[in-house]
Structure 1
Amino acid sequence: MTSVDLFYVRSMWRNYFFDFATVNARGKSGGIISIWDPSVFVKSKIFCFDNVLIVEGLWVKLKVSVYMVNVYAPQEESEKLILWEVPVGENGNRFSKVNASNFNSFIDRIGLFDMPLGGFKFTRVGFSGKKLSKLDRVLISEELLEVMPSLAATILPSGCSDHRPIMIQMKEGLDKVVEDAWKEEVVGRGLVKVKNKLKLLKERIKGWVKVNKEKSSKDKVRLEYKLIDCEHKIETGMIDEGVFEERNDLLLELEKLNHLENKEMAIKLKYKWSLEGDENSKFFNALLKKKRKQMNISGVKDKGEWIIDPLQVKQVFFDFYSKRFKPFDGVEVVRRSNKLKFLSPDDNDFLVSEVTMLEVKLAVWGCGSDKSPGPDGFSFAFIKKFWDIMKADFFEAVQQFFWKLPFQKVVTPLLLH
């Protein structure tokens, strides 16, 4: 590209919400363009050189300073020496083992990792469509990888250039969704606070699952259309090695997506059965109905009189047990037998001491991870996985038992867990 205008960039980005920087080409090669979402990355400085474009800025969500370096390596080995100060590596279809070794050494020496690329397999497609190459790479520093472990790179469809654009983005994994949701402020304290956070977390996870399902469905449709296109090419005799290789890659991708769908369906069925079990069967409902009839109290006899009115029956039971369990005086322990076991002063101090974080953690880890989830839908396996994020709020909720504060009715489902 010799020059770039706004409409050209918009045709690649598909909307007007973007910012970009460029280095013009020299002749037919060397042109570089970097495009970004200003709500995700905000530039502060731009450095332009021959074959190199550096954009310094802030990754907004994590508030991390980032250098985005875009390099167009020249074809001549002598020019590569000037650019990298070491030979670079792979040159079109002419592959040099010496250059590849030098390129890998260069990556290791400056502490970069070669990110795996998703999407298409090749990064460059000749204008004739017959020459396919993987020339472009995405390298990331170890420090940035620790801060953004969910960073992913995807090769997009070809545009006006023979080089396919590569999109770099943070994929919202479940860990990130849980962490962001749990950090949000909610009303209440103790058990009420935990309940509200779990409610918010459930909504966020549902939204995350919905987005991933939609993306997976679109990816599957896209792969199926591309597979049909490959089949048409094979039937019409438009056959080359690239078509067969692309067809095999598409079949593998479809197999992965189908495997994930089947795995998710099996988990859903298992979860549904753990909640409902035999409750939906006609046999179970018949047994339940019979059991209710057998245990139903149709009436009660009080002072020789048969009572069938429900309110009066309840009152008879209430009066009976009130008399049986009413407090009374007159019993006093004057001396404890030496034969009876009793707690030592240390044991007594331990029982009345404040609960610790370690005790709460041991109690959680003492519960089975694979047990059926509680009314809130979260299993102990989930709580254990994200314990470092949730532990402070759960510890505060447990401490509320010892604060002697009244519990609200809204925490009842949480206590049943």
Structure 2
Amino acid sequence: MNVLSLNIRGYNGGEKSSWVRDLKKRHYIGAVALQETKKGILTDLGVANYWGPGNFKMEYVSSSGQSGGLLWIWDPAVLEVESTVKERNFLLLKGKLIGSGEQIFLFNVYAPQKTTAKRRLWSDIAANMEGFGGLFLLVGDFNIVRSLDERKGSNFKATCARNFNDFIFNSGLVEYPLQGKKFTCSRENGKKLSKLDRFLVCDNFFNKWLDACVRVLPGYLSDHSPIVLSVVDLKYRPKPFRENELISSALIELERLEQEMENRELEEEEQWILAENRKGIKEIEARRNSDVKQRSRVKWSIDGDENSRFFHSVINKRKALNKIQGLNIDSAWISKPAKVKKHIFAFFRDKFGEDLPDRPDLICENFKQLSDEDKEFLVSPFTSTEIKDVRGVFNSGSGSSFITLVPKIKDPVSINNYRPINLVGVVSKVISKALANRMKEILSKVISVSQSAFIKGKCILDGPLIVGEILSWLKKKKVKLSFSR
């Protein structure tokens, strides 16, 4: 069942209804969650404009004046709703999935502004989840970010974020990574960006639909972008390994500014951005290390070594974070595996390719040079004797390797947000040791006899010591010295 969520910023007909109707048709939506309808009474006729042709059912929470308002619309052929819970800031559907008969609880959430009101809302939702088994899905505008990298151009409220993270952790919820864009809300012509809309699910839901994709779609009739949860199974090859931690998005800005510093002096605003990003990274790491990570270690110490639901949830979450559901290619979202693979191959082929196939010759007659025989010796294949000398083994096929892409930032959207790493089937030290043994045999032919650094049997301090001894001897002999540079 695919689910669409959107803060509609006012329920009315015309363009907004046709927009939602088109999204529902294009993405095969089975349920639609709308926030901020700003309507007291909704009719079946008006809701039908949003749903389009076909049967539907709906439940709603009336707005308080021009504030709030929630609406669930669903396909009765997909979901059978048995009861509902209506509160000012959330609308809960309790029912069963048609076909499997599994119990499911669907929350449509629109969080208030005040910190105390948010904390009360998290407690109310947790109370409605307690004591029930089945699948839980929370969707909507939570009006809060979880970390500093989920907000840009506005203040970060650490207390609100900590309360929200506590609620997610204590409720055993998991968040699907976003695809398409990093932020879901844009205000003041893009000056303020934040990730306020999201999908939160329980472990059972996450493990059942591990390949689900949450994609942020373009938003033009609301300052919130619509987000879609769709169950997909893209036929990529399995990944051989994963990255342990994701890198904060602030590192991208730091990398860009550090590159600019090499070419020019930073402006005052850029210097402020640089300082704020560095400060933000330190705060994120300190907060995570002292809060979420510490509690995760406690839970892992209890349940981590057991073949438990917690163990499988941790593994599956890491798989989902590293999974590539699609990429932005030429400003268009592409999810077809063949096109994505082709784009990735072309991107890194250009990155690691050499622009000049023929390098210019460096002619230095006064430098020592290797003979043709020595050059041939350096590039010749390794012999079995050389391999045995370094106590190494080359098995058949050891030259091959696995290559995978790991995200450099949270919620990657383009190929630039990934870095390639590879698993080589041979110990690299074996090769480097064998090469070093070859270099030892010819180094004396190109290195001066007076060099003392990095030479076996010599020390880098030999030069200063010899100079010091010579100066002491000359002073004793009362020889006048003159130094030139």
Structure richer in helix, relative to its length: 1
Length-normalised TM-score, structure 1: 0.39
TM-score by length of 2: 0.34
More strand by share: 2
Greater C-alpha radius of gyration: 1
Higher RCO (CA 8 Å, separation ≥ 6 residues)? 2
